[in-house]
Structures are given as C-alpha cells and as structure tokens.
Amino acid sequence: MEDLTHDLFLGGRLKIRQPRSGYRAGVDPVLLAAAVPARTGQSVLDLGCGVGAASLCLGARVPGLSLFGVELQDGYAELARRNAAENGIDLVVTGADLAALPVDLRARSFDHVIANPPYFLRAQGSAAPDAGRETALAEATPLTLWVETATRRLAPGGWLTLIQRAERLPELLAALDTRLGSVDLLPLAPRVGRPAKLVILRARKGARGTFRLHSPLILHEGSRHERDADSYTPAVSAVLRHAAALPWPGR
C-alpha cells in the first residue's frame, strides 16, 4: 500500500497511516477503544484490527497493556505494525483468519477481546469497488463466529467489547451463550430524538449479572447539523479529542 494518508486521532496524540481509498478508520474504533474497561498490565486481543486504530487508541489511553491484533488482509496488518512502531506503542499483529487462528494465539487467553466486525451482510447490497474496503465492511465470516472466537480467547472474568450496527442487534444477541454474562448494551444515537445507528456491547466471561439496556449515548448536540464543523457532545468530544474513557453507566 503506497497511496496513504497520515491522519490524526485523539487530538493529535496518534498519527495513523491508512489507505487513501479502501477501508478507513473513523470514529467507530475510537469509541470502541474508549469503552474497554482495561487496566494497566492486562492483555487485549483485537480481532480484525485493520490498521490498528482501536488497539492504538486503547494503548494511548491505558499505558502498559499487552496488545495483540489479528488481521486477515496482509496490507492492513503491515500498516498496523508500522503505525504501532511510529506511535511508540507495542502491538503484536498476526496476519490470520479469525476462523483459523495460529496455535500460539489459540494457546493464550486474554483479559479483553475487542472487535469491530463488518457491518453489512454480503448477501445484501453491492460490493465495494476497493477489495480492502469490501473485506472490511461486508461480512464473509458470520457474526456468530466472531463472538465464538472472542469467547474462546477470553480468560475467566475477561471482557468482550464489540461495536456493531443497531440493525444487527438481534443477530448479535443470539450469538451470545451462557459463557458470557453481565451483558451491557449502550446504543449510540447521532442526535436527540434520532434512532441509534450503532451499539456497543460489553459482556464478561463467567459473570452472572442480568442484561442491561442503557439509555442512548448522544453523539452530536442539537437536533440537526447546522454548521460546517463537528458538533460532538462534551462527553464524546472528550473521547475523540482527549483520549477520555467513554462514559459508561455503572452496575
């Protein structure tokens, strides 16, 4: 990949190279990383890590993590390694299909597994002209396999944190089984009075807490877009600009 942009994340704390065309990380991996309840010294596996945006945002917020990523596309995996090195964050990236993880990863368990699976079913809509964007956005691996792989790699008491489109919530919840409990669901709504377009799910391996559906987190102020600038709410702006943790209702 030679035609790259060099984009700033977290108010300039991170500089991430990514393809000018193809799949490009936006605010979604930043919000995902901000929702992970990680602590210094813990281990994190990022399934489908792309250019490393979510892992690097998490590493910038919480120092001293052991970060691992799995990425199917070799070009994106190499960019993730390059981005990690250029930002001074340790991230071990393995080029592999999550359906066939290498032995060394299957032998490990992690305190956290995070994922931003493709949002769209390949049976619906038209394919993207760029192969990398198509692979990143359109599902070839079933969502159930993403959840199963994550669950297997979690240590007892470990956390799964995942972001997905709201329309696929029934499928996502159906993929959970009794190994995961204390499921929290945080809808992300673009504005007050608008339906949520994304959801962040957190669940804990071996926990027995009840399911909780929280009030939506509102991303933008006002009822509509009125000016040529972002209008993020203060809480979301703190996440995107200052590497703050995502406000998460307590249990």
CATH code (residue 26): 3.40.50.150
Q: CA–CA separation, 98 vs 225, rounded Å?
A: 39
Strand pairing of 180-189 and 120-121? unpaired
Q: 163: number of CA atoms within 13 Å, CB side?
A: 22
- The mean pLDDT of 211-227, rounded to a whole number, is 85
Residue with tokens 């193809």: 22
pLDDT value, residue 39: 98
The verdict on residue 136 lying in a domain is yes
> 47: closest CA among 102, 114, 95, 106?
114
List, for residues 150-186, the tens digit of each pLDDT value.
Answer: 999 999 999 999 999 999 999 999 999 999 999 999 9
Amino acid at 113: V
Q: Which residues, at least 6 apart from 11, have a Cβ–Cβ distance to it below 8 Å?
A: 240, 241, 242, 243
- Per DSSP, the three-state class of 102 is coil
The verdict on residue 251 lying in a domain is no
pLDDT value, residue 23: 83
Full domain range(s) for residue 60 = 4-242
CB 201 within 8 A of CB 184: yes
The verdict on residue 190 lying in a domain is yes
- The mean pLDDT of 32-58, rounded to a whole number, is 98
The verdict on residue 247 lying in a domain is no
Q: Give the count of domains, the chain.
A: 1
- The mean pLDDT of 137-158, rounded to a whole number, is 88
The verdict on residue 248 lying in a domain is no
| Cβ-defined contacts of 60-67 (< 8 Å, 24+) | 60/10, 60/13, 60/14, 60/87, 60/89, 60/243, 61/10, 61/33, 61/34, 61/243, 61/244, 61/245, 62/38, 64/40, 65/38, 65/40, 65/41, 66/42, 66/90, 67/43, 67/91, 67/92
- The mean pLDDT of 186-207, rounded to a whole number, is 97
Q: Which residues, at least 6 apart from 64, have a Cβ–Cβ distance to it below 8 Å?
A: 40, 41
